[in-house]
Amino acid sequence: MSLKQINRKSNSELVKAITNLKDAARKNEAPLWRSVAARLEGPSQNWPSVNISKLEYNADKNSKVVVPGKLLGAGTITKKMTVTAYSFTQSAVKKIEAAGGKCVPYNDFIKSNPKGTNVMVIG
């Protein structure tokens, strides 16, 4: 997508997140971050809204998960995992933390996983 696409986004936090994801993709040769940035550049109505029950079924204990959209709190979760998403509902954060996991913003997640290895994208 072109630079014009990103300029149409009015949310400065979103623009910053997309820019940071693209920078991480270039610096670390990590196509994972590029694909997440591309998803966020598209219309927000096309972003996935993922319930934590989907994380419970698809991710292993202690895994690292990227949601290129919003994480919702429907369902239950018993596994400890680190999750990053553009946004989280309060109930999703509570349930993940209650299971021993963490919800972190993209920037912090990229710092701890620069190459995107052993990271699962759900959504």
| pLDDT confidence of residue 10 | 79
Q: Which residues pair with 87 in a beta bridge?
A: 70
Q: What is the pLDDT along the chain (123 residues), one digit of tens a residue?
A: 455 555 566 788 899 999 999 999 999 999 999 999 999 999 989 999 999 999 999 999 999 999 999 999 999 999 999 999 999 999 999 999 999 999 999 999 999 999 999 999 998
| pLDDT confidence of residue 7 | 55
| pLDDT confidence of residue 94 | 97
Q: Which secondary structure element, helix H or strand E, spans residue 51, and what is its range?
A: strand 49-51
Distance between CA atoms of residues 13 and 25, nearest Å: 18
pTM score, whole prediction: 0.88
| pLDDT confidence of residue 77 | 95
| pLDDT confidence of residue 59 | 94
Q: Which domain, by its residues, includes 44?
A: 3-121
Buried b (16+ CB within 10 A) or exposed e, 22-56: bebbeebebebbbbbbbbbbeeeeebbebbbebbb
Distance between CA atoms of residues 25 and 94, nearest Å: 30
Distance between CA atoms of residues 39 and 18, nearest Å: 9
Distance between CA atoms of residues 89 and 72, nearest Å: 5
Place of tokens 């997140």: 17
Sign of CA dihedral 113, 27, 88, 48: negative
| pLDDT confidence of residue 19 | 93
* Structural domains in the chain (count): 1
CATH number of the domain enclosing 99: 3.100.10.10
